[in-house]
Structure 1
């Protein structure tokens, strides 16, 4: 629209959380403001749409002040005490820490893209430690040492390194004609995967 209103802004204004979620999944800009500077999050806070605000925050929506104040100030001024309280409580959260909002697919996507388990206050891992639901379980699994079960939750660089090391083991196995257990000098191929890769592969692998 000529005033800069986007489909996401309209969905947030009207509290259409499912519609907003679909737009964000499709790549809508989470913090794109109207011409007057009002962002989707600011409008959601003005209208008191708590679940929409949570969704936007989980996608990293900016909480910077608009011409009408910060999202916290807008929610407080409009009398949305529950929303204002949630905004205060979640000030230090990264997108991965939004356990109550994240779907398993979104949590997996964030983990695979390299989202940190240890940034923010509280950190995603700290929130997941006693949390319920699929997102919390995925974060706890991603925090464990590398294993075949957690491989899919590691970033691309770490997954590639793991694949390269396994391929190297296979080539060694073929070159030195190891026995069916894949052992040489008392070390079995399965031990390489369970005991070596768990130390060699980290989420921060470049």
Structure 2
């Protein structure tokens, strides 16, 4: 009997990293506990599965105490020193700060859903500064002013605002080009519009 353990719980307990990845990507409830109150993160910590713990944490797994203690406490009590040290070091991280664990697709998904670059300790942006890997590069690009190259990394509301403003600029551009005499002015207006969009569009646009 698995005492109410979900497929995710069982995969975490057994250290089946690829299975855990697939289940989380499919929307498995990261914090669903067994009947005895133990969570997937607690189970992975108990068994010393560091990579599984990192993956669960990157999906926002709760580190709250279970009836058997916290994941940090059980890692220490079971002698999993590296895992316990990582749990301590990452206490203030948001999911986006898990740069070494995030795939490019997952980082992009978090950025597009509005994950903050400036929350947590240290923040995702601080961790990404000078960091290697695709996730770190995506965070740095998302922190720069809006541009067509970074458009896909902005949240939905900001992308919608960008699309509206770009359409407006091009409509003005076309209007200026109604006669050949206005061509120079039209090009200037288009260039100016592209320059200011980076300041008019922010990740926090509502």
TM over 0.5: yes
Q: Does 1:187 align with 2:155?
A: no
CA–CA distance in structure 1, aligned partners of residues 152 and 181 of structure 2: 28
TM-score computed with the length of structure 1 as normaliser: 0.95
Residues 1:67 and 1:186: Cα distance change in structure 2 (over 3 Å): same
CA–CA distance in structure 2, aligned partners of residues 90 and 78 of structure 1: 19
* Structure 1 segment 70-149 matched on structure 2, within 5 A: 70-149=70-149
How many residue pairs match? The answer is 205
CA–CA distance in structure 1, aligned partners of residues 7 and 45 of structure 2: 17
Unpaired stretches in structure 1, ≥5 consecutive residues: none
1:180 offset after TM fit, Å?
A: 10
Which deviates more, 176-185 or 156-165? 176-185
Deviations 1:3-22 (A, max 9, x none): 32100001000000111000
1:174 offset after TM fit, Å?
A: 2.9
1:104 offset after TM fit, Å?
A: 0.2
Question: Which residue in the other structure is 1:163 paired with?
Answer: 163
1:182 offset after TM fit, Å?
A: 5.8
Residues 1:180 and 1:147: Cα distance change in structure 2 (over 3 Å): farther
Q: Report the aligned-residue RMSD.
A: 1.8
Q: Please state which structure has a larger fraction of its residues in helix.
A: 2
CA contact (8 A) 1:183 1:189 kept: no
CA–CA distance in structure 2, aligned partners of residues 180 and 87 of structure 1: 66
Q: Does 1:14 align with 2:14?
A: yes
CA–CA distance in structure 1, aligned partners of residues 96 and 183 of structure 2: 40
CA–CA distance in structure 2, aligned partners of residues 62 and 88 of structure 1: 14
CA contact (8 A) 2:129 2:140 kept: yes
Runs (4 or more) in structure 1 with deviation over 6 Å come to: none
Which deviates more, 129-138 or 176-185? 176-185
